[in-house]
Structure 1
Amino acid sequence: MAKLLEYDGVVIGAGHNGMICSAYLAKCGQKIMVVEKNMEVGGGLDSHEDRNYPGFWHNIHSVFHRGLTMLPWFKDLELENFGIHYYRPDPGVVHHFLDKTYLGWFADVKRTAESIARFSKKDAATFLDIWTRWQPVVKNIVFPETYAVPIPIEEKRPLLEKLSAGREYLRYFETTPEEFVLQHFEHPCVQAFIGFLGVMRGYELDAPKTGYLIPAMIAWGVNPQLCRGTSHALGDNLAHMMSHNGVDYIEANGAERILVKKGQATAVVLEDGTVIKARKFIASNVNPVETFIKLVGRENLKPEFADMAESFRFSQTTPIFATNLALNERPKYITEEKYPEVAGSFMHIVGLEEYQDLKDLFEDCRTGQLPRKPFMNGATPSHHDPTQAPPGKATAFMWQLATYNLWGNALNWDKARGEWLQKQLSVWQRFAPNLDENNILSIDSTTPLDIERHDKNMYCGDWMVGEYSGDQALENRPFPGWGQYRTPIDSLYLCGSSCHPGGNITGAPGYNAARVIAESLGLKPWWTPLDFKEHLKRLK
């Protein structure tokens, strides 16, 4: 006989957005259940111990957490009380070149500009100018918009046009990231550096209406932080925080069906047949294809909406081939001899020599080919957090953006894995020659197909959980007309990375969805969510 449970609300998917959303609503007095398909909560906050060498830990998905301790939900939910700690390495990024020069992104913008000036004094001056001009844009528009329910551009534009920062935002709103980079920077290495950092945030080079994100990135800063005890420690701490606030959760028993009665979502059926009745709401942290086509079912949707859900696009350029190493000693980069400061960098970029390499990669990804020229970004987590490797040892990884549908079929990755792994490693070794057989204890890899196998929400290996382009961004994410976390099914909401503002560990989709759900239920939020339209009206 099927087990029957009943809660005020059910959240599907215990990634960080689902956990954040559930905690905000639990603190509103609601009884919440979170259901998770995987063995552990956390979603992309996943880490594995090396299969051959105990004590070496590899971060499988998310690693670079940008400014996380300054985000509103981190403070509101008092995460620091649950033992979480972050390291802030400086420089945040070093881009190595074979001639032993480098580009670096430091906490001090002047040091960043100095590294750019070694390649182009004009580009350094441009970088500083953009950084200065866009400080008020990020502070007053981009960051507030990230942590607010998005409003249509038709409502936003007249308010922005009254503000100097708003006019700066609109100046690049219609452009693509590539257009911004190529129009403002002249040196091919600098173009590659800035363009690639945008790409590694999930931006599409040629996506219209996203060009403003590049100057926002410059002004906001890269600011990557590393979670002590691997990225999974954040997922674990979020789980403790949920329990502290009275949220119940189930692992290894995912949602199989959302029951709909007379146009209203009423219950969630789990894989083992358990039925969880939702007295007030259901919030889905999984992608819209999974939510609407699999869980809700076409029979409960209007045909045009079902078609729109089924046509939701996943990125062809965000999937990653990861190489993870257990080492006797950390990688020592050729750049360190002249510039010892690069050893302390969090992110390392190798193999990317000019902007054309990025354009070629995008073409290879979209045509299902292996990258014609490997270039990667990665880190040595144990250098900053000794808990991630045994004493005196090291862990390191590199990520290569790569196609999911290799040669037209993702299963081809199972055949190509070994050869590509060696090719990727050989490029890395040119920049860190000590990565030899005497140093490498264990080597492992994750293909774009493996990403989907491990996290079913990341269709096609897309960790952004949906291509980020103008018609799938801001108020159009996931679909035009449905960008405010609501759905055409009464009492069913979305709270995951397929919503504004997209993937990465921002917590913003869960944070924003909690506000929409609370207000829909007539609950007064205990926190202070921002009404973005009213915020713009108050600016001068």
Structure 2
Amino acid sequence: MTKYDGVIIGAGHNGLTLAAYLSLAGLKIAVIERNSQVGGGTSTQEPLLPGYRFNLHSNFFMGFGNSPLINDLQLHRYGFSYIEPLVQQAATFRDGSCVVIHQDLNKTCDSLSRFSKTDADTFRDLYHLYAVKMRPLLGSMMYNAPLPIDQLKDRLSGPEAKEFLSHAEHDLFSVVEKYFVDDRIRTLFSSYMHVIATENQPGAGMVFPAIFSNVMGFTLPVGGAVSLPNALLRILEKGGGKVFLDSDVREIGLKNGRASNVILDDSSVIEANYFVASAIDAPTTMNMIGNELFSHEVQKKLNNWHWGNHSLVTLHVALRDRPIYKSREFDPDIDSAFNIFFGMDTIEQVKQCFKHCEDKQFPDVLMGNGACNSSVDSSYAPAGGHSAFWWPFAPYEVDGSAQNWDEQNDYYMECILNVWREYAINLQDDNVRGKFLFTPLDVERLNINMRGGAVRMGAYIPSQLGINRPHPELSSTRTPIEGLYLCGSSSGNGGGVNGAPGYIAANAITEDFSINRPWKPVALPEWKN
């Protein structure tokens, strides 16, 4: 029997964020990981050819430069860095036109003005409001446990706060239509809103301010997404902690009503002095410790967890030359764009794509975003080569069965590549050195808690956002079981690469056990004007 101060289930970036913070606080932490490597949703591999590196899940670290992890953990000292490209995003259309989003606000508005001066002015106003003025509020909301709406309203006042809260009255399409008038620009931002696995339901518009605040803040981790968990792992090991790889947790054990250990599949036991925290999905965690320990309402919610109607199917390609888009004739800055959307030309096509995903069909309209990472960071490919990907939206069960992703893999891969070729003029066979399709079924295989290819570990819908993620009784990372905490992507503010669930859990655990923190917690959200 091995004993640590705390035991964390899952060595993805959220679990390792919690482990790193508590290591700084002087605790000796064990992290249990069923896979043979750390990373979870922040994984990087070379599945095609040597030197061609691909991020199999997370690629765009949205707004990560504003994360408290950067300075609190001094991640640069442990091998993590990122690049924030000057040309952030673009959307290219079949007629050869494109919209380009720069870090430079004036250049962005110049691009938008080619379609609509009104929309360019609106973008400028929204950027100043959400990406600049209200940035501290959005950061405090991200890195604190979600508050009940009544408490949040008590802390927010004034016309800007009223406008902020009004987004909960909209769905994803109506909130975009509220602000923008040009169909192409509406199409771009409607697609952008779906990227984080948000589904179009009444109330889903509440995510707009946070998503919009990062529209010019996408970052690429140098060397691969796995560089983040590797840096967190080094902090853990420096503090005397350990990750147990290839170890599957069968059960969370109780002692005198308190979570006190984990039992592995081989029946070995790892004891915890203070706590057990789960960085895997909440439904599985509940089953590991016993459904009967949770209220009927929690059991019902987690047993009916909505994993999502759409996932992502990713075509990874090893290239000789980077993709060249025909819309460079319209705006040559697209050559430098990091994140590029294509496949959709109208709002109706966006709606059609997600309707097909909901109906479990391979979409007639393949649409999504992708990047050529090696154009931003040369370490993603060997000299004389490039690594690129495109991940259109797709259902987990496709055309009747998830197994069709395996059985018809070549067919789906060619369909996706052919659509990409409609926009990029140089993706012919002589430029493609290798290609492979990472499907929603593969997502689940690599990360078993991303059930049904749920890349965010549960859809972003109003009933699974804010204090409802995963349930109001669990949203603070604390649970009804003493010593048991949640810190995975299905927890409050989880689902993206931000470390928020791990950070929130670290503050909760240090508070509950009166452990001194060598960091200053992010202040509670407040807005008065």
Bin the TM-score by the shorter chain.
Answer: over 0.9
Q: Which residue does the alignment assign to 2:32? A: 35
Q: Which residue does the alignment assign to 2:261? A: 267
2:184 is the alignment partner of 1:185? no
Match of 1:316 among 295, 306, 309: 309
Q: Which residue does the alignment assign to 1:129? A: 125
Please give the alpha-carbon distance, in whole angstroms, between the structure 2 residues aligned to 1:350 and 1:221: 16
Q: TM-score, normalised by structure 2?
A: 0.96
Match of 1:463 among 418, 433, 455: 455
Match of 2:6 among 1, 4, 9: 9
Please give the alpha-carbon distance, in whole angstroms, between the structure 1 residues aligned to 2:81 and 2:298: 43
Q: Which residue does the alignment assign to 1:391? A: 383
How far 1:397 sits from its partner (Å)? 0.6
Q: How does 1:20-59 map to 2 (within 5 A)?
A: 20-51=17-48, 53-59=49-55
Listed one character per residue, the Cα deviations across residues 449-498 of structure 1 (whole Å, up to 9, x for unaligned) are 11001111111111111111222111111113321111121110001111
**Alignment partner of 1:173: what SS?**
helix
Please give the alpha-carbon distance, in whole angstroms, between the structure 1 residues aligned to 2:471 and 2:202: 16
2:498 is the alignment partner of 1:506? yes
Please give the alpha-carbon distance, in whole angstroms, between the structure 2 residues aligned to 1:176 and 1:289: 27
**Alignment partner of 2:413: what SS?**
helix
Q: How does 1:386-535 map to 2 (within 5 A)?
A: 386-532=378-524, 535=525
**Alignment partner of 1:7: what SS?**
strand
2:295 is the alignment partner of 1:305? no
Q: 1:242 to 1:433 in 2, by over 3 A?
A: same
- Can you give the 5+ residue segments of structure 2 that lack an aligned partner in the other structure? none
Listed one character per residue, the Cα deviations across residues 313-355 of structure 1 (whole Å, up to 9, x for unaligned) are 21112x1111011111111111223422211111111211111
Percent sequence identity is 32
2:126 is the alignment partner of 1:138? no
Q: TM-score, normalised by structure 1?
A: 0.94
Given that 2:100 and 2:333 are in contact with CA atoms closer than 8 Å, whether structure 1 keeps it comes out as no
Poorly superposed stretches of 4+, deviation over 6 Å: none
How far 1:299 sits from its partner (Å)? 4.7
Given that 2:277 and 2:484 are in contact with CA atoms closer than 8 Å, whether structure 1 keeps it comes out as yes
Q: How does 1:149-188 map to 2 (within 5 A)?
A: 149-160=145-156, 162-188=157-183
**Alignment partner of 1:406: what SS?**
coil
Q: Which residue does the alignment assign to 2:354? A: 362
**Alignment partner of 1:489: what SS?**
coil
Listed one character per residue, the Cα deviations across residues 190-214 of structure 1 (whole Å, up to 9, x for unaligned) are 1110111111123223251x31422
How far 1:135 sits from its partner (Å)? 4.7
RMSD: 1.8
Amino acid at match of 1:70: N
How far 1:302 sits from its partner (Å)? 4.6
Given that 1:138 and 1:216 are in contact with CA atoms closer than 8 Å, whether structure 2 keeps it comes out as no
How many pairs align? 529
2:273 is the alignment partner of 1:276? no
Match of 1:60 among 47, 56, 59: 56
Given that 1:137 and 1:216 are in contact with CA atoms closer than 8 Å, whether structure 2 keeps it comes out as no
Q: Which residue does the alignment assign to 1:213? A: 207
Q: 1:118 to 1:192 in 2, by over 3 A?
A: same
- Can you give the 5+ residue segments of structure 1 that lack an aligned partner in the other structure? none
Given that 2:298 and 2:471 are in contact with CA atoms closer than 8 Å, whether structure 1 keeps it comes out as no
Given that 2:167 and 2:208 are in contact with CA atoms closer than 8 Å, whether structure 1 keeps it comes out as no
**Alignment partner of 2:228: what SS?**
helix
Amino acid at match of 1:103: V
Please give the alpha-carbon distance, in whole angstroms, between the structure 2 residues aligned to 1:17 and 1:257: 20
Amino acid at match of 2:394: A
Q: Which residue does the alignment assign to 1:231? A: 225
**Alignment partner of 1:10: what SS?**
strand
Please give the alpha-carbon distance, in whole angstroms, between the structure 1 residues aligned to 2:67 and 2:459: 24
Please give the alpha-carbon distance, in whole angstroms, between the structure 1 residues aligned to 2:412 and 2:30: 43
Listed one character per residue, the Cα deviations across residues 404-435 of structure 1 (whole Å, up to 9, x for unaligned) are 12234322222232211111100111111211
Listed one character per residue, the Cα deviations across residues 199-232 of structure 1 (whole Å, up to 9, x for unaligned) are 1123223251x31422443344331111121112
Please give the alpha-carbon distance, in whole angstroms, between the structure 1 residues aligned to 2:298 and 2:162: 35
Given that 2:169 and 2:202 are in contact with CA atoms closer than 8 Å, whether structure 1 keeps it comes out as no
Please give the alpha-carbon distance, in whole angstroms, between the structure 2 residues aligned to 1:136 and 1:227: 23
**Alignment partner of 1:89: what SS?**
coil
Given that 2:96 and 2:327 are in contact with CA atoms closer than 8 Å, whether structure 1 keeps it comes out as yes
Please give the alpha-carbon distance, in whole angstroms, between the structure 2 residues aligned to 1:297 and 1:86: 41
Please give the alpha-carbon distance, in whole angstroms, between the structure 2 residues aligned to 1:509 and 1:406: 32
